[in-house]
Amino acid sequence: MSPASDRNVSLADYTTLGLGGPAARFHTAGDTDELVAAVAAADAVGEPLLILGGGSNLVVADDGFDGTVVHVDSQGTVVDTETEDRVRVRVGAGVEWEPFVAWSVDEGLSGIECLSGIPGRVGATPIQNVGAYGQDVSQTIVEVVVYDRRTGRSLALGNADCGFGYRDSAFKGSERYVVCEVVFELTRSRLSRPIRYAEVARAHGVDAGAQVPLADARATVLGLRRSKGMVLDPDDPDTRSAGSFFTNPVLGPEEFTEFRKRVAERLGPQVEPPAHPDAEGRMKLSAAWLIDRAGFAKGHGDAARISTKHTLALTNPGGARTEDLLRLAREVRAGVAEAFGVTLVNEPVMVGVAL
C-alpha cells in the first residue's frame, strides 16, 4: 500500500455523527491523480476499499473498516465554459459543498441556492442525488468524471448516464465508479430558480413558482435548516447526525389507498396525511410526519436519540455507539411499519452494519 497511508485512524473523527471504529489503513488524496492512484493500488491487491468524503451521510460500524479508507480532499473550482446566461463549473470531488454553494450565490449563479447548508463534499452529491427544499443536484449536473474500477480508466458520464432518481443514482449501491469531478451548469441570475417548496415560499410571502433574490433564498434555507438542527454546529448536539436518516417513502396508487385507510383507522377520518404526487403518478409521503404520528417525539431515545428539533434526524448527543443509533433506527422503523404499514428506508450509507 501507499507509504503515505496511516493505520488505525478513528473514523469517528471523520463522520458528522462522531461514530465509527478505526480504519485499518487511511490515505488522504489531495488531488484527482492521488485519488485514482490510491484506489488503483487498493484494487491491485484486492484490498477492501471505502471512499470517504465529508462523512455526513455515513454510518460506520463500531468495529471500524478492515481495509483502506481513501479520504477525498481533491480541490478546484474552475469555470469551464460560459455564455451570456449559462456557466459550466468543474468542481473537484473533495471541495466542501456548502462553500461551493456560497460561492455560486456570491457569483450570481442560480440553481443550487436551496441546497445551502448541506454538509459534505461535492463528490458525494451525485451519488445520493442530494436534494432539499425543491432542488436536487440532478437539475444542474451535466457531467460526472469518474474512475471506472472495472476497466481501470477514467471517463465522463453525462446527466442521462447517471441514472438519477429520488435520492438515487447509478453510483449508489455500486462500487464500480469513483467520483473525481462534477460539472454543474448554473444560470447567471440574481434571482433564484422558481421556488418549488411550500415552506420556503411561505417564508418569503410568495406563491410557489415565484422567484426571489438569490441571496434571500439562500438565507431563508439556512435559517430553516438551523431551526431543524441541520447546519453543523459543534456546540449543538442535535447537529451530530447524518442529516435525514430516512428517505420519504414513495407509494403506488394501491399502496397509497391502503395507507390512507391505516391513517383513518389510527388518527381519524378527518386527518389528511401530507403527500405529493411525482412524475410517475406515485405519492411521496413525509417520513418525519410518519415518525411523529407513530408516537416518536423529538428527543426520544437515550444514548442515541431523535433530534430535539426535527424527528427525521437521529443524533449522537455524546457518548453513543453505532449500535445505539441502529437500535433506535430499528425501533422507529418498526413503529412506523406497525402504525401505517410503511417501511422506512435509511438514507445514510451503511459501512459494516445494516438495519
What would the pLDDT profile of 332-344 be if each residue is shown by its tens digit?
999 999 999 999 9
Residue owning grid cell 430516512: 246
Domain boundary residue among 196, 227, 258? 227
Please tell me whether residues 306 and 247 are part of one structural domain: yes
Domain boundary residue among 227, 256, 274? 227
Q: Looking at residue 301, what is its pLDDT? A: 97
Rounded Cα distance, 320 and 328, in Å: 11
Please tell me whether residues 106 and 212 are part of one structural domain: yes
pLDDT tens string 27-74: 999 999 999 999 999 999 999 999 999 999 999 999 999 999 999 999
Rounded Cα distance, 346 and 333, in Å: 9
- Work out whether the CA dihedral 233, 141, 178, 105 comes out positive or negative: negative
Please tell me whether residues 244 and 192 are part of one structural domain: no
What's the pTM value of the predicted model, to 2 decimals?
A: 0.90
CATH number where 54 lies: 3.30.43.10
Rounded Cα distance, 276 and 268, in Å: 20
Q: Which residues are catalytic?
A: 167, 244, 347
pLDDT tens string 237-280: 999 999 999 999 999 999 999 999 999 999 999 999 999 998 88
CATH number where 157 lies: 3.30.465.10
CATH number where 255 lies: 3.90.78.10
In eight-state DSSP terms, residue 181 is E
Q: Is residue 144 part of a domain?
A: yes
* Count: domains in the chain: 3
Rounded Cα distance, 277 and 288, in Å: 17
Query: Could you tell me the residue range of the domain that residue 138 belongs to?
Result: 77-227
Please tell me whether residues 216 and 145 are part of one structural domain: yes
Please tell me whether residues 258 and 179 are part of one structural domain: no
Please tell me whether residues 39 and 111 are part of one structural domain: no
Please tell me whether residues 192 and 154 are part of one structural domain: yes
Q: Is residue 293 part of a domain?
A: yes
Residue owning grid cell 428517505: 247
Q: Checking DSSP bridges between strand 275-277 and strand 283-285, what pairing results, if any?
A: antiparallel
Q: Looking at residue 70, what is its pLDDT? A: 97
Please tell me whether residues 191 and 217 are part of one structural domain: yes
Is the model's pLDDT at 2 over the cut of 60? no
With cut-offs at 50, 70 and 90, classify the pLDDT of residue 182. very high
**Helix and strand counts by DSSP (H, E) for the chain:** 8, 20
Please tell me whether residues 124 and 219 are part of one structural domain: yes
Q: Is residue 1 part of a domain?
A: no
Residue owning grid cell 407509494: 251
What three-state secondary structure class fits 35? Answer: helix
Is the model's pLDDT at 1 over the cut of 60? no
Rounded Cα distance, 196 and 270, in Å: 27
Q: Looking at residue 278, what is its pLDDT? A: 87
CA distances for 253 relative to 182, 259, 338, angstroms: 36, 10, 20
With cut-offs at 50, 70 and 90, classify the pLDDT of residue 4. low
pLDDT tens string 80-118: 999 999 999 999 999 999 999 999 999 999 999 999 999
Please tell me whether residues 89 and 210 are part of one structural domain: yes
The rounded percent of the chain whose pLDDT value lies above 90 is 95
Q: In the predicted model, what is the mean pLDDT of the chain?
A: 95
